[in-house]
Structure 1
Amino acid sequence: MAPALCSKCSTLRFYDVFNDDVVFHPDLNSLVQSAKKCESCNLWWTQLQRDCSTEDIAACLARKLPTHVAKSSNNGDFKIYLRGEWHPAGTASVPDQIWLSCGVLVSAAGHDAPTKLQTHLAVFADPATPAGALFAGRYSTNAHNREYYATFAKGTLNACRKTHGVCNQASPPTPRQMPTRVIDVGDQTLPAAKRVTRIVLTKDLKQPQPYTALSYCWGRGTQAMLNAKNFADFTKLLPESKLSKTHIEAIDLTRLLGIRYLWIDALCIIQRNQEDWEFESKRMASVYGNAELTIIAGRSADSGLGFVTNDYLTSKNLPKPVPMKTGPHPHTGEGPDLGTVYLTIQRSKTVGPVDMRGWCFQEALLSNRSLIFGKDQVSYQCRLHTRYEDGCVDTDVSKREQSLTSLNPGTKPEVLRRWYQMLGSFTPRALTEPHDIFACIVSVAMITHGILKARYLAGLWECDMPRALLWKSRWSYVSRRHFLPIEKPLASPFTERKGEIPGKPVIRAPSWSWANVAGEVFWDTNPRIESKWMDPKNIHIKPRDPKGSWTNQRGAGSPDVLYMPSLELQLFVKAVEVRCTNVLKKKTPLTPEGIMMESIKSAPSAKPATAPSGPAKPSYLALGYFDFPSDPRPANIWCSLVVAHEGLLLTRDGKGKFQRVGWFVVQDGKQFDGVKEMAVDLV
């Protein structure tokens, strides 16, 4: 059934709006009234409400100047204009689109004539149509071009294989090898009825073969899993009728791509076998780095739901795409009408639920090529670009080139900077099993270890210990509006660990490690001031071991150690016992709330770090921030200086051991002049 269109929308052509600014409606009121009957106008009105503030919209409806627009010669113009933007062969970082502007020609908006309201709709065409040869954007949902993902996957993968030399190199650069086990999806030369899907041991294959790998959220839908009981049976036949929908769709997609083998963790790692799990967990760099393609089921939070069909846009009750005539060639104006293109709301590049799962983080980072089934659209990412279903091509590969898993990761300072930036992206992600925290990044840690040649201590590198110890919560330090507070890791609802209660706090790392908390943390990685972490004169903490080791604990330092709950550091520090004197009510340069620390036994040359307003009677030593502000205050608190202006808040237990409880800042560190070093065992 053809959509209901007003007289203006039914005659509008992309050729017309590409070559000139077209008056669409006399004012916003006219557009709103038309939107009640016209599906195209309704699409524009919906997008305007998504992009523009209610205050600016109300002003334009009343034909008044929005507050953000300065008075100018055009302040009496409230016409609605359209102007097209077309990119040959989809070579731009934005899709083909049509812009809408209120009161200002689109071609003038953004210069000396700020628009009152502005938005745009994306343009797409159906494949295998005359318009499809000219417009790169596509739209694949449950109701429109449902099978397009297969065409997109084949086309982008084949082009990458033929023309992208760097994408054909393994990452890390090692000889190509296959995982221990893979799923044989069947000989494609045989009829479907004669194909056998089964688990195979790759050591039995004559030579390494191309394979795909799946990255996805398990959820509660993962059904059949490889275990000791069904291992022999699954090597003969893997019953697809018992697999989750996501697993079935990954098998089907692998077949469509003409690839015979597929790796899925639930079916290729022996579940409830700790030895096999640990062995395979350490090989993720090889599993994903050597895969011909990683299939990322980004839009699905549960493997029982599948990932191929995109019903996100339609499930949100948003207006459907509307057709529009093209006219002749947008540039030359020659030739016949190319048929129909469609207008649709802007689609995000958001990946979806897998972006918040801990295990999926390194899987994406380690992959050479990825086919991403994102929330709004499908995309293909490789080492040269990311190509989206809507026609966008992101050629800025700087993020991938600067990745720890790139072929040229950089110098040691650059590698450290990227390590901290990586952790900043990883730490907000959720883990069903909190003790998997180190296993989730073990492959990236092993790659980093190969460059730094330093010991790995509960997620911190010994060669950069002062900075590594000073991690901070983004919520408390940066913004309480845009970030969530850090919390204590909670035991899995499926836990079988002795002494743990599902949903109750657990200890998975030492107090001084970022892995001791759940939530987003960050480090100072500003390259302009990195020297402060390298200058010995600026460092006020050191290991007790004369050889420079920060711990003498046996077995410490290897990046492939998956469990490090009780690692102890042996240090010399300058520490002063303090008490909390008040909570700052006024905003500071750091956070809305800071705890003033007053020295119990003032240092000889102690000066106030930052005194509150009014007469300052006590000698304030530092401004402190607790990792868990809602917890009861420790019975004793110590300020331990790490660098000239920052340090750790510690507390001492009955056995004389110290634990981290937060961090503090001072003006310049002179408050600690004359304080003698003391030995500290930090647990």
Structure 2
Amino acid sequence: MSNPCPKCANLSVESLLDLARIDFKAHTFSQEAYFQHHQSFDDLEEAARQGCDFCRLVLESFQRTPCPDEDPWEWPDGWIEVNEPQPEDHSGTMYSIAKGLQVSDIKLCLNATHLYSGQGFEDAQVFDEILVQVGQPYSETEDGTGIWSCPLLRLSLIMPTDRMPRIGDIRIGRYEFDNSVLGVICSQRLAKQWLSECCESHTDCLALDVQELPTRVIDVGTSSRPNDVRLMLSYGKKAKYAALSHCWGGAVSPLLTTDTILAFQEHINVSDLPANFRDAIVITRNLGIRYLWIDSLCIQQDSKADWEMESKKMGLVYRNSTVTISALVSAGSNEGIIKLGRSSPKSPKPATIKVLQDSKDSLHVFVCRKDPKEEDLRILDRDGALTRRGWTLQEYILSPRHILYGKDMIYWRCPQGYISSDGLPEGNRSPQSPYVNLSQVIYSDILSRPHPPPSDLNIILEEYYDLVGAYSQRQLTYGSDKLPAFSGLVQRLHPAIGGDYIAGLWTTDFRNGLLWRAEMMSCHHARDPYRAPSWSWAVTDDLVLFERQDAATKASPSSAELLEYNVELRDPDNPYGEIISAKLIISALTKPLARSRQAIGANWAGEDIGVAAFDEPLESGTTGRGTPKLFRVDTDALDMGDYLMSIEVKMDLFGDSPGTEWAIDVSLFRDEEYIVALIHTDDNTEEGAEWSNSEAWCLVLRQTPDDVQKTYERVGFAKIDSPPRLRWLKTWERQVLTLV
């Protein structure tokens, strides 16, 4: 640190760590144990003018951060480059906020970004951030109102990759980003090191068995002969291989076709390949692996028969791979996986502070402004280009080992957890692992020490339905891939779940499998071309979630019963892929339902018994933006007797008073015949009980237009919010229904 001011001369990571031992909660500025820096922002500004590097870093971070809000809650994302014009008084920046404070003293404390908010010192493995508080820290009034004076400035502690200092058991700093060619070479060495450590040291990861190669693989050659790349037919050979998970992003060329298959076995011209494929070949070779699987080069793209044959093996391709290379941020095959020449984090010139307080050791740590937009694997996992695509979900879950390529860093994932190239441990910046029990099933026969899968089937099913919900958020280029792109997962799960798999539904849990609904306002059915029956979640490209109940796995007196089912498969040898048609025959209690275009205000409701969520909104008459409430109607009108009615309740329509009565407008009823079919309520009650033990979950069905008697299609989901009277359930008519 050049010409440090007296405050900074006395500053060290060790002194900050001693304070953190007294009081520390992750991502929170301590109000009890902090380093008291300058007494005012003016003093800090003067110290910066006198040549103190750390004070200059803090000052410039304030001066070059625009602040459109006069009272910011958190540090803004923007940045003003050196060559950009700026007023001399730095108005409109965080500097003007700090200068306007009556109390503007500077306080410092450490933070550990890998921890979740509120975790304590005992959980920390690495401290990699300094929090800078100007003025009074966050506080609350007696009524709980939060008071901020100035949001926290976050400064990152950075170390070169060849060293990482420790104070006791605590590591200090994260590794620096290196976007040079040399940095990329180091990243490739790191990836090879991760793979080696997993294979040799992770006792809970994969067994050392080498798996059989896929039908076709790319022989990537050797580093001494990098142009000797060709397509190889494996003929059952066993060897290590990598698999590529990527986004096509439009047309890809060249492809494996009937015309190119013989030529590719002789030689593949690497320079003709898209950037993603060229990079994947280099990565595979640098890992010491000879073979690589890429979908468009290993499956004949002009042969439906070959695609059907190989697509049903795709789950095994990824599950049996030595490692999967995931191009997380590449939206298309021509973007490349290895990102050279990336822009450096936007920051003033870094400063340094000493690591130890009194040691003669000259070890220092670099300090730089933290980029609010810096890469975070948790966010990449949620919003990355790769994680938006449908096919890549099963590629991600089935692959036991991954090298994940982001924009700024690379990451490792295996059954033991996540690692990032900045050296931070798994935690707040890593994705959650919500499918722990499914993973135990999927990897059960390839782990060195497999965990027994849960004995309770409901635990597996709960994660399965969550997985379907996650899959529904992803996009597919071809709607016909809806079931095939999920097939590798269900193929691995089938032995644990049992029964038959029918177009996305398990017969062992068919009631819960039917009880899905739109997560948003609607879920439109894809009808042309046909890909799934109306009762399957695979019929829609919109987001779905399941109203799952453990008790629905077992029958109760009023629950629906599955009598018969039939599915016509596109490929008779693949029960998990495309289908031509499917139907269920169930026995269920039913009530007629009138679907009305009528809309009423929220203060007119109150007599409703639940909700009827139609998959698709009405074509006209209402906006579809209200809540379609379910009402029970006792009347002999329309010769319907006791029936149910769906009316839209809107917040923007108001009556005269909350008690105002409203009249049913029969003229606004739809002409179609609807029924509500009760799928499950837990009425395994004691003798003499008056009520069911649970709410009632139902499907809304509409008779099909082909006039086939008792044949219905699903058009929505309904729920009776309160446990229904058993006496009322006895008035429902049990029918045998065919669902298509």
Q: Place the TM-score, normalised by the shorter chain, in its bin.
A: 0.7 to 0.9
Which residue of 363, 372, 376 maps to 1:348? 376
Which residue of 415, 422, 427 maps to 2:460? 415
Cα distance between partner residues in 2 of 1:225 and 1:467: 42
Note if contact 1:63-1:78 (Cα within 8 Å) is conserved in structure 2. Answer: no
Structure of greater Rg: 2
More strand by share: 2
Note if contact 1:310-1:376 (Cα within 8 Å) is conserved in structure 2. Answer: no
Q: Mean Cα displacement is larger for which, 450-459 or 428-437?
A: 450-459
Note if contact 1:607-1:619 (Cα within 8 Å) is conserved in structure 2. Answer: no
Aligned to 1:668: 723
SS in 1 for 2:675: strand
Q: Mean Cα displacement is larger for which, 276-285 or 587-596?
A: 587-596
Question: Cα distance 1:607–1:471, how it changes in 2: closer, same or farther (>3 A)?
Answer: closer
SS in 2 for 1:226: coil
Give the TM-score normalised by structure 2: 0.72
Question: Cα distance 1:514–1:180, how it changes in 2: closer, same or farther (>3 A)?
Answer: same
Alignment partner of 1:583 is 2:609 = no
Q: How far does the alpha carbon of each residue in 1:591-611 deviate from its partner, in whole angstroms, 9 at most, with x for none?
A: 972224555768877799999
Alignment partner of 1:284 is 2:314 = yes
Alignment partner of 1:542 is 2:561 = yes
Aligned to 2:105: 79
- Give the residue type in structure 2 aligned to 1:380: W
Aligned to 1:623: none
Aligned to 2:29: none
Aligned to 1:524: 547
Cα distance between partner residues in 1 of 2:138 and 2:159: 23
Which residue of 625, 635, 639 maps to 2:672? 635
Q: Mean Cα displacement is larger for which, 357-366 or 451-460?
A: 451-460
Aligned alpha-carbon RMSD (Å): 4.6
Cα distance between partner residues in 2 of 1:486 and 1:6: 63
The 5 Å alignment of 1:316-331 reads 319-320=346-347, 322-329=349-356
Aligned to 1:480: none
Aligned to 1:126: 160
Aligned to 2:738: 681
SS in 2 for 1:285: helix
Note if contact 2:164-2:173 (Cα within 8 Å) is conserved in structure 1. Answer: no
Q: How far does the alpha carbon of each residue in 1:50-101 deviate from its partner, in whole angstroms, 9 at most, with x for none?
A: 999736789998989x9xxxxxxxx97443422234699x995776111233
Note if contact 1:166-1:383 (Cα within 8 Å) is conserved in structure 2. Answer: yes
Question: Cα distance 1:456–1:83, how it changes in 2: closer, same or farther (>3 A)?
Answer: same
Cα distance between partner residues in 2 of 1:439 and 1:10: 64
Q: How far does the alpha carbon of each residue in 1:152-185 deviate from its partner, in whole angstroms, 9 at most, with x for none?
A: 3122222212211232238xxx982221111111
- Give the residue type in structure 1 aligned to 2:533: P
SS in 1 for 2:578: coil
SS in 2 for 1:250: helix
Note if contact 1:212-1:295 (Cα within 8 Å) is conserved in structure 2. Answer: yes
SS in 1 for 2:499: coil
Q: How far does the alpha carbon of each residue in 1:486-505 deviate from its partner, in whole angstroms, 9 at most, with x for none?
A: 34449xxxxxxxxxxxxxx5
Aligned to 2:117: none
Note if contact 1:651-1:658 (Cα within 8 Å) is conserved in structure 2. Answer: yes
SS in 1 for 2:283: helix
SS in 1 for 2:280: helix
Q: How far does the alpha carbon of each residue in 1:567-615 deviate from its partner, in whole angstroms, 9 at most, with x for none?
A: 1121222223222343354399979722245557688777999998535
Aligned to 1:462: 507
What runs of 5+ residues in structure 1 fail to find an aligned partner?
Answer: 67-74, 477-484, 491-504, 621-631
- Give the residue type in structure 2 aligned to 1:178: L
Which residue of 198, 208, 215 maps to 1:160? 198
Which residue of 511, 525, 532 maps to 2:534? 511
The 5 Å alignment of 1:115-194 reads 116=149, 117-118=151-152, 120-128=154-162, 135-141=173-179, 145-169=183-207, 176-188=211-223, 191-192=224-225
Which residue of 494, 506, 509 maps to 1:449? 494
- Give the residue type in structure 1 aligned to 2:402: S
Aligned to 1:648: 699
Aligned to 2:588: 573
Shift of 1:187: 3.2
What runs of 5+ residues in structure 2 fail to find an aligned partner?
Answer: 20-33, 50-54, 76-91, 115-121, 445-451, 614-624, 650-657, 682-695
Cα distance between partner residues in 2 of 1:93 and 1:418: 31
Cα distance between partner residues in 1 of 2:390 and 2:732: 42
Cα distance between partner residues in 2 of 1:271 and 1:7: 70
Give the TM-score normalised by structure 1: 0.77
- Give the residue type in structure 2 aligned to 1:295: I
SS in 2 for 1:203: coil
Aligned to 1:256: 286
Shift of 1:463: 1.3
Q: How far does the alpha carbon of each residue in 1:275-302 deviate from its partner, in whole angstroms, 9 at most, with x for none?
A: 1111211112321112111110001101
Report the identity percentage. 22
Q: How far does the alpha carbon of each residue in 1:468-524 deviate from its partner, in whole angstroms, 9 at most, with x for none?
A: 111011113xxxxxxxx534449xxxxxxxxxxxxxx54321111111111221113
Note if contact 1:85-1:99 (Cα within 8 Å) is conserved in structure 2. Answer: yes
Q: How far does the alpha carbon of each residue in 1:288-340 deviate from its partner, in whole angstroms, 9 at most, with x for none?
A: 112111110001101101021167765xxx6247423141447x856222464
SS in 2 for 1:246: helix
- Give the residue type in structure 2 aligned to 1:151: R
Aligned to 1:496: none
Question: Cα distance 1:356–1:86, how it changes in 2: closer, same or farther (>3 A)?
Answer: closer
Cα distance between partner residues in 2 of 1:54 and 1:112: 16
Question: Cα distance 1:41–1:233, how it changes in 2: closer, same or farther (>3 A)?
Answer: farther
Shift of 1:114: 7.9
SS in 1 for 2:191: helix
Shift of 1:664: 1.6
Q: Mean Cα displacement is larger for which, 607-616 or 595-604?
A: 607-616
Alignment partner of 1:595 is 2:628 = yes
Q: How far does the alpha carbon of each residue in 1:518-569 deviate from its partner, in whole angstroms, 9 at most, with x for none?
A: 12211134xxx52244241352x223x3xxx3x1456699863422253112
Cα distance between partner residues in 2 of 1:611 and 1:242: 58
Q: How far does the alpha carbon of each residue in 1:421-462 deviate from its partner, in whole angstroms, 9 at most, with x for none?
A: 111111110000110011111111111111122111110111
SS in 2 for 1:252: helix
Aligned to 1:401: 436
